[in-house]
């Protein structure tokens, strides 16, 4: 996204916070939630004594080290200080918070009050890795910005429209009813944004039959089948562990493997959790890195397991596209987004190499030179192939702006 010029524009009004287990991403938007004025990330890199503070605004970008343990109050204050020092000193009137899991209760963005705060607290057990840091950031931001409205935007909300056949797992039905074992789906903010943006690019905004397959390929990876901006199927499930192979997450595996490891190798829950969430995927197979660029570099240098990791990664995406094409009864557009989807030409090329049978045809020249939000399909391809730059922060800012207006 183009950043506006710094202090001269000086429209500080909506702040977006996206808290992960050891990062806090932030972005400052103008009052209309149209222009990103500044942004960055505080990254503790798993350390409990220091973090890197990254800041960018128009024309400048820099990083420095912050000393101190992960503490969101300190982090939000640092963000405020840095913004103010750069001339962004208008009051923040709305803070949009990305919350990964909205549980069964939240199917749209909400104003955070004490009741919502309590409900979110209860949902935390559903997403122990993701929700607690976000709630800590909410708590900190409410203290630092007591006069602003605080809004929660959920990754799961987009999927509240998923058909029941996709929501229920083929397990005893009581588990769905009594234990709430069901598919939630994640990355919904990104998938919803891409669906809307694709409809705009294709000039089919009002077409309720527009069939899209969106591949969000970043550190976390998921694919969603969408018809007319409504989700029809998605790969992530009860947790963000299901589905495609990811940077460090396994994606779908035979659950019998876990039973075997517990029984024959006496592996405990926490160990399996660590392996499935942090030691698998691209990292687990390549043994090199979870970062796609590094795995690609190693593969190019002849590293066999790095090549295998990329082949597996691409194959699983391709199989999912095939399955979703059948679910949708055809594809009007295939969309690549997030770090790998937006930037890796070779990955897009590999994925599309298996799609000729669907007459989804990549134009290699356009793939090499692609710019953001462009069509890289051949003219005679049945489906368009779009690379879309995902803008989760902007969507959160829009929701914050809308709810702030409604509540005033
Ligand atoms: P995200 O979670 O969306 O930030 O995406 C992170 C992933 O995108 C990492 O695996 C990066 O290696 C990958 N990525 C970022 N830039 C590139 C690039 N230029 N080429 C290939 N992969 C990239």
Domain membership of residue 378 (yes or no) is yes
Tokens 């809308």 sit at which residue? 402
One domain, residues 228 and 314:
yes
In a domain, 109, yes or no: yes
Q: Are 144 and 245 members of one domain?
A: no
> What is the predicted pLDDT for the residue at 11?
52
Same domain, 135 and 41: yes
| Cα–Cα distance for residue pair 233/227, rounded to 1 Å | 10
Residues 236 and 131 in one domain: no
In the predicted model, residues of the chain with pLDDT beneath 50 are: 1-10
Which residues are known catalytic residues?
A: 155
**Residue 43 resides in a domain:** yes
Q: Hey, whose CA ends up nearest to atom 8 of ligand 1?
A: 339
Shared domain for 217 and 357, answered yes or no, is yes
Which residues are annotated as part of the binding site for substrate? 98
Q: Does 246 share its domain with 108? A: no
119 lines ligand 1 (CB under 6 A): no
Pocket lining: 219 vs ligand 1, CB cutoff 6 Å: yes
CB of 341 within 6 A of ligand 1: the answer is no
Answer yes or no: is the C-beta of 292 below 6 A from any ligand 1 atom.
yes
pTM for the model: 0.92
Distance CA 167, CA 343 (A): 32
Closest ligand 1 atom number to CA of residue 390: 3
Dihedral of the alpha carbons of 255, 257, 259, 262, in degrees to the nearest 10: -140
Final residue before a domain boundary, out of 90, 120, 154: 154
115/250 same-domain check = no
> Do 127 and 238 fall within a single domain?
no
Q: Does 218 contact ligand 1 (Cβ within 6 A)?
A: yes
- 289 and 366 co-located in one domain: yes
Answer whether residue 59 is part of any domain.
yes
Q: Give a yes or no: residue 86 inside a domain.
A: yes
At 7 the pLDDT is: 44
Residue 312 inside a domain? The answer is: yes
Which pLDDT does position 128 carry in this prediction? 79
Binding site, annotated residues = 18, 25, 98, 216-220, 291-293, 339-343, 392
Range of the domain at 142: 14-154
- Whether 183 is covered by a domain: the verdict is no
Position 124 scores a pLDDT of: 87
Site to probe by mutation for ligand 1, drawn from 314, 343, 388, 389 as the one with most ligand atoms within 8 Å of Cβ, is 343
Q: Both 232 and 354 in a single domain?
A: yes
How far does residue 118's CA lie from ligand 1's centre (Å)?
35
Both 148 and 259 in one domain: the answer is: no
pLDDT for 48 equals 79
Quickly list H helices, 230-376: 255-264, 269-278, 281-286, 292-300, 304-328, 338-343, 345-352, 364-369
Same domain, 228 and 367: yes
Tokens of 29: 């938007």
The whole-number pLDDT of residue 69 equals: 79
Q: Which residues does 209 contact at the CB level (< 8 Å), separation at least 6?
A: 227, 228
Q: Has residue 227 been placed in a domain? A: yes
1-44 pLDDT, tens digit each: 444 444 444 455 899 999 987 889 999 999 999 999 999 999 88
Burial bucket for residue 9 (CB in 10 Å: 0-12, 13-18, 19+): middle
User: Which pLDDT score is estimated for 12?
Assistant: 57
CA 170 to ligand 1 center in whole angstroms: 34
- Domain of 58, CATH number, reads 3.30.420.40
Place of tokens 């891409």: 194
Domains of the chain: total = 2
Convert the pLDDT of each residue in 127-176 to its tens digit.
877 889 899 999 999 999 999 999 999 999 999 999 999 999 999 999 99
Of 293, 351, 367, best ligand 1 pocket probe by most atoms within 8 Å of the beta carbon: 293
CB 48 within 8 A of CB 69: yes
Contact (Cβ atoms closer than 8 angstroms) between residue 68 and residue 50: yes
């Amino acid at each position: 996204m183009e950043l506006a010029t710094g202090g001269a524009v000086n429209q500080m009004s909506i702040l977006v916070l996206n808290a992960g287990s050891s990062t806090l991403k932030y972005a400052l938007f103008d009052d209309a939630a149209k222009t990103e004025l500044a942004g960055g990330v505080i990254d503790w890199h798993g350390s409990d004594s220091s973090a890197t503070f990254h800041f960018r605004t128009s024309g400048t970008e820099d990083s420095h080290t912050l000393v101190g343990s992960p503490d969101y109050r300190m982090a939000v204050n640092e963000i405020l200080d840095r913004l103010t020092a750069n001339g962004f000193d208008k009051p923040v009137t709305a803070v949009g918070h990305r919350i990964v899991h909205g549980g069964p209760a939240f199917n749209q963005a909400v104003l955070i009050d004490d009741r919502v705060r309590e409900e979110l607290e209860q949902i935390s057990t559903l997403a122990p890795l993701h929700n607690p840091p976000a709630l800590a950031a909410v708590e900190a931001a409410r203290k630092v910005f007591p006069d602003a409205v605080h809004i929660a935007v959920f990754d799961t909300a987009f999927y509240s429209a998923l058909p029941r056949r996709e929501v229920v797992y083929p397990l005893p039905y009581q588990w769905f009813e009594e234990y709430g074992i069901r598919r939630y789906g994640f990355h919904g903010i990104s998938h919803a944004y891409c669906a809307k943006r694709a409809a705009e690019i294709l000039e089919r905004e009002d077409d309720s039959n527009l069939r899209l397959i969106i591949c969000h390929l970043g550190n976390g990876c998921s694919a969603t089948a969408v018809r007319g901006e409504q989700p029809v199927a998605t790969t992530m499930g009860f947790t963000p562990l299901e589905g495609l192979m990811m940077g460090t997450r396994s994606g779908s595996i035979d659950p019998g493997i876990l039973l075997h490891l517990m029984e024959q190798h006496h592996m405990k829950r926490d160990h399996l959790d660590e392996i499935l969430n942090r030691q698998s995927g691209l990292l687990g197979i390549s043994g090199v890195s979870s970062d796609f660029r590094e795995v690609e570099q190693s593969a190019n240098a002849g590293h066999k397991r790095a090549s295998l990791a990329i082949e597996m990664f691409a194959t699983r995406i391709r199989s999912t596209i095939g399955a979703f094409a059948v679910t949708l009864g055809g594809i009007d557009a295939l969309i690549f987004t997030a770090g790998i989807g937006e930037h890796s030409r070779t990955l897009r090329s590999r994925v599309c190499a298996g799609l000729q049978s669907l007459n989804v045809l990549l134009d290699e020249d356009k793939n090499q030179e692609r710019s953001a939000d462009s069509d890289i399909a051949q003219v005679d391809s049945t489906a368009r192939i779009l690379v879309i730059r995902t803008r989760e922060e902007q969507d959160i800012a829009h929701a914050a702006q809308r709810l702030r207006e409604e509540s005033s």
